[in-house]
């Protein structure tokens, strides 16, 4: 889950910068909880107890606000997921920590948000790019585990293709449609499948 930082709105200093940051965090929390397709700028201003002019100070349109919020969500999630993985030294525990941290980051996100995300191309592209980056990171973790003898010898490229396919299906809402699983739940099950399939038999 990797996304570069983006600048949202004009830079301010002091109290103005703190309020701007607080407001943006409130916006992100609102969108991931309730989605965004049905919310107008008037709705957002009312829910966030600010003026539309204040929102325009963050971004020039609702679409730009949504994309910026999605970028921010994934950028923040990436930092926490990588920190959870880095805290483990044993390959299997590191891989498990990574995927479970992804699940934990997605757990607060509503199905409505993911549905809206899938229908809004600029934001869907952010999720897709982060999904593929996460799949590449999982491949690296598997490579390391195989090299250290912690995982069975597997065709890493094939394993990575399978993992990527599942992660993209989660991102595209296909797993939710087929199984009823939330994205976070699906990542949790993927972690269990991977670990049991890769572990060296005792």
Per-residue pLDDT at 9? 42
Give the residue from 141, 116, 147, 139 showing the smallest Cα distance to 30.
Answer: 116
Q: What domains appear along the chain, each with residue ranges and CATH number?
A: 14-62 (1.10.10), 65-198 (1.10.357.10)
Residue 4 has what pLDDT?
Answer: 40
CA distances (Å), origin 121, targets 15, 34, 70, 125, 179: 35, 18, 12, 6, 24
Query: Does the predicted TM-score (pTM) go above 0.85?
Result: no
In angstroms, rounded to a whole number, what is the distance separating the alpha carbons of residues 105 and 123? 17
Structure token pair of residue 192: 């269990």
Mean pLDDT by 10 residues, the chain (202 residues): 43 66 92 94 93 89 92 94 93 87 89 91 91 88 86 75 84 90 88 74 58
Residue 8: left if φ>0, alpha if ψ -120 to 50, beta else—which one? beta
């Amino acid at each position: 889950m990797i996304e570069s930082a983006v600048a949202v709105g004009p830079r301010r200093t002091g109290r103005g910068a703190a309020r701007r940051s607080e407001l943006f965090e409130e916006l992100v929390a609102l969108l991931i909880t309730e989605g965004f397709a049905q919310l107008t700028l008037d709705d957002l201003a009312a829910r966030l107890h600010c003026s539309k002019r204040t929102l325009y100070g963050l971004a020039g349109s609702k679409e730009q606000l949504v994309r910026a919020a999605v970028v921010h969500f994934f950028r923040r999630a990436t930092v926490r997921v990588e920190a959870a993985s880095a805290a483990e030294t044993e390959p299997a525990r590191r891989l498990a920590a990574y995927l479970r941290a992804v699940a934990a980051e997605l757990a607060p996100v509503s199905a409505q948000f993911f549905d809206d995300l899938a229908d809004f191309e600029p934001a869907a592209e952010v999720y897709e790019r982060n999904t593929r980056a996460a799949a590449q990171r999982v491949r690296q973790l598997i490579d390391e585990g195989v090299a250290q003898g912690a995982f069975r010898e597997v065709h890493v490229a094939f394993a990575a293709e399978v993992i990527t396919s599942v992660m993209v299906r989660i991102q595209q809402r296909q797993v939710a449609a087929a199984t009823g699983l939330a994205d976070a739940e699906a990542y949790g099950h993927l972690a269990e499948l991977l670990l049991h399939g890769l572990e060296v038999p005792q």
